[in-house]
Amino acid sequence: MKYLAPGVWRLKELPAPSINVYLAEDVLIDAGRRWDRRRIFAELEGREISMVALTHAHPDHQGVAKDVCEARGVPLACHADDVEAMEGKRPMQEASASNPVNRVIKAIWQGPPYKVERVLQEGDEVAGFRVVHAPGHARGEVIFFRENDRVAICGDVIRNMSYATGLPGIKEPPPIFTYDMEENRRSIRKLAGLNPSLILPGHGAAVSDIGAFERFVAALPA
């Protein structure tokens, strides 16, 4: 694991972080793709886990959630607006669901549905982080924000990599995976309004250059 901030680590992924899974104290934040089971279980070996909490219920963030919860006997948490998606009562990906890319992702990445035992709402606390609802990419997208050092685990509100090249760069999530781009831009501005000192996205390396993030936000369409 890579240490990122007090009590926060990113699970290893080679050759570079692309689909991030974090450990905040003893809470696993996100659960990768279905095929990430081996690496996630290997990284968690010998560590106590009290809960799995999702930034949102998309196939690349909930893939191993059921397996970890069952193996460790711990509850699954996600925002109220993503409970139905996680429990298999509505599609996980609402943006361009019939697009061939999303159909392939569903087939090879998506994990099985699983009961959500802890339903998160705005203002709840998870491992010392405050839950901030940030919809747009997904209905139940959340930011986990820690007040004392302003660390933000932001899921896919932003990404810090190009999906085409793998190179770093702060970007919006692509429209193909985002059901409401305007709503997500409001959530990006909500993230900026938290005045974060370190942003840990769902894809790509940590964003420590907050000046670059502020310039990205300023350049967003009105």
Give the domain CATH number at 171.
Answer: 3.60.15.10
Q: What is the pLDDT of residues 20-70, one digit of tens each?
A: 999 999 999 999 999 999 999 999 999 999 999 999 999 999 999 999 999
CA-CA distance, 68 to 209, in Å (whole number)? Answer: 33
CA-CA distance, 184 to 190, in Å (whole number)? Answer: 9
- CA atoms in the 13 A half-sphere facing the CB of 139: 13
Domain total for the chain? 1
CA-CA distance, 132 to 167, in Å (whole number)? Answer: 28
CA-CA distance, 130 to 84, in Å (whole number)? Answer: 22
* Predicted local confidence at residue 222, as pLDDT: 77
Q: What is the pLDDT of residues 120-159, one digit of tens each?
A: 999 999 999 999 999 999 999 999 999 999 999 999 999 9
φ, ψ for residue 65 (rounded to 5)? -60, -50
Domain residues for the domain of 13 are 2-218
Q: What is the pLDDT of residues 68-111, one digit of tens each?
A: 999 999 999 999 999 999 999 999 999 988 899 999 999 999 99
Residues 6+ apart with CB under 8 A from 97: 91, 103
Q: Does pTM surpass 0.75?
A: yes
Q: Please check whether residue 63 is in contact with residue 104, taking contact to mean a CB–CB distance below 8 angstroms.
A: no
* Predicted local confidence at residue 36, as pLDDT: 95
| Beta strands per DSSP E along the chain | 2-5, 8-10, 22-24, 27-29, 51-53, 76-79, 118-120, 125-126, 129-133, 142-146, 151-155, 198-201
Count the Cβ atoms, other than its own, within 10 Å of residue 205: 17
